Amino acid sequence: MANFILRKAEPKDVSDILRLIKELAKFEEMEDQVILTEKDLLEDGFGDHPFYHCIVAEVPKHHQSADGHVIIGFAMYYFTYDPWIGKLLYLEDFYVMKEYRGFGIGSEILKKLSQTAVRTRCNSMHFIVAEWNKPSIEFYKRRGASDLSLEEGWRLFKIDKQNLLKMTDEE
Amino acid sequence: MDFTIRAATLEDCKDISRMILELAEHEKVSDQIKITQRDLEQDGFSKNPFFHGIIAEVPEHLKSRDGHTKVGYSLYFYTYSSWKGRAVYMEDLYVMPEFRGKGIGQALMAKVSQLGLAAGCNQLNFTVLDWNKSSLDFYRKQGCWDVTSELGYHCMRCEGDALEHLAQGDL
């Protein structure tokens, strides 16, 4: 099957991007956490100062998915900064629809992202993985990724909007 | 204590560089720093900055033992959550030891939160080392929660040779 292309996402893709975001979230049992809308994706990804970049995997019409989609995979990323080593590429989401796995599409996406990282002089690519997601962890470790939480003890923290507002009120 | 919180400028890079080194020494990893003062100037203060900075400054009569008036800083940048949209990532937060316990850290963090909220962000994210008990306590008090512990997300990294191999499609 291996007939697919990888390309930069365009404004017309936001509907498919949101669909795939929700599919990935469902897999992580976090579907109810997705509050992002197509409008957000459009404004935040295709305005003057995009908050994210996206590549999509597209198959020809005659290979469309069971429910009629041709956009069957995506990766969402942006650039971050480490004051010790400089620019980094942060991989926010990376997903290929189940029926299209095992054809090397995921590997090609990762290759394209790494090429982008190297081309834009990023020293590293960072991302997070759920510790129960053994197949993904293996996939990444096979490609030389290291688990910073385990190896260096880094823990990811978050403050949500309610508490952010509280913090600014106390000032 | 009398202090001001303001946006960092190009002229602050010398002190930011100094304090980055102090923070790295505190985290016991100062040999990992590859970024110079000049890199910070280029990466943070050109047309498309990779990060933003804020500085905590005290008046001349309250300067540190070795004569510094810039006594704390935070480096942050904007990221994107595929679930919630715009987010702000606090990369570094540091106050010189002799100026701690006076609300400067809290004020720096409040400023990052304000700027994040103003830019339409829904969350503030950052990482903390698991042995850093005083920081963990400080952040929990601000209403933060540990995504790594509670949801099992691990921070991963792909760098150096591994990144190059990935870009070439080697396995």
The DSSP bridge pattern shows strands B52-57 and B4-7 to be antiparallel
Chain A residues in contact with B125 by the CB 8 A cut-off are: 156-159
pLDDT digits (tens, 9 = 90+) for B108-149: 999 998 999 899 998 889 988 888 888 888 888 878 888 888
Q: What pLDDT is recorded for position A167?
A: 66
Cβ of A167 within 8 Å of Cβ of B84? The answer is: no
Whether A53 and chain B come into contact, CB under 8 Å, resolves to no
Least confident of A42-46, A116-120, B102-106: A116-120
Cβ of A126 within 8 Å of Cβ of B155? The answer is: yes
Mean of the per-residue pLDDT values of chain A: 88
Chain A residues in contact with B145 by the CB 8 A cut-off are: 157-159
Closest approach of A150 to chain B, Cα-based (Å)? 8
Sign of torsion over alpha carbons A133, A135, A138, A142: negative
The H or E element spanning position B150 is helix B147-151
- Number of Cβ within 10 Å of residue A107's Cβ equals 15
Active site residues of A: 140
DSSP A104-161: SHHHHHHHHHHHHHHHTT-SEEEEEEETT-HHHHHHHHHTT-EEHHHHH-EEEEEEEH
Answer yes or no: is pLDDT of A169 > 70: no
Q: What is the pLDDT averaged over residues A88-95?
A: 92
Q: Is B97 helix (H, G, I), strand (E, B) or coil?
A: helix
Question: Which of A108, A127, A157 is opposite residue B146, by nearest beta carbon?
Answer: A157
Residue B169 to residue A115: CA distance in whole angstroms: 9
What is this structure's pTM? Answer: 0.84
Ranges of chain B whose pLDDT falls below 50: none
Residue of B nearest to A35 (CA): B84
pLDDT digits (tens, 9 = 90+) for A141-158: 888 888 888 777 777 777
Q: What is the pLDDT averaged over residues A38-61?
A: 94
Q: Return the percentage of chain A with pLDDT > 70, whole number.
A: 93
Question: Which of B147, B154, B167 is opposite residue A115, by nearest beta carbon?
Answer: B167
Provide the ipTM. Answer: 0.78
Answer yes or no: is pLDDT of A159 > 80: no
User: Of B3, B114, B59, nearest to A171 (Cα)?
Assistant: B114
Answer yes or no: is pLDDT of A132 > 60: yes
Whether B141 and chain A come into contact, CB under 8 Å, resolves to no
Chain A residues in contact with B152 by the CB 8 A cut-off are: 130-132
Q: What pLDDT is recorded for position A171?
A: 46
pLDDT interval class at A4 (50, 70, 90): very high
Closest approach of B132 to chain A, Cα-based (Å)? 10
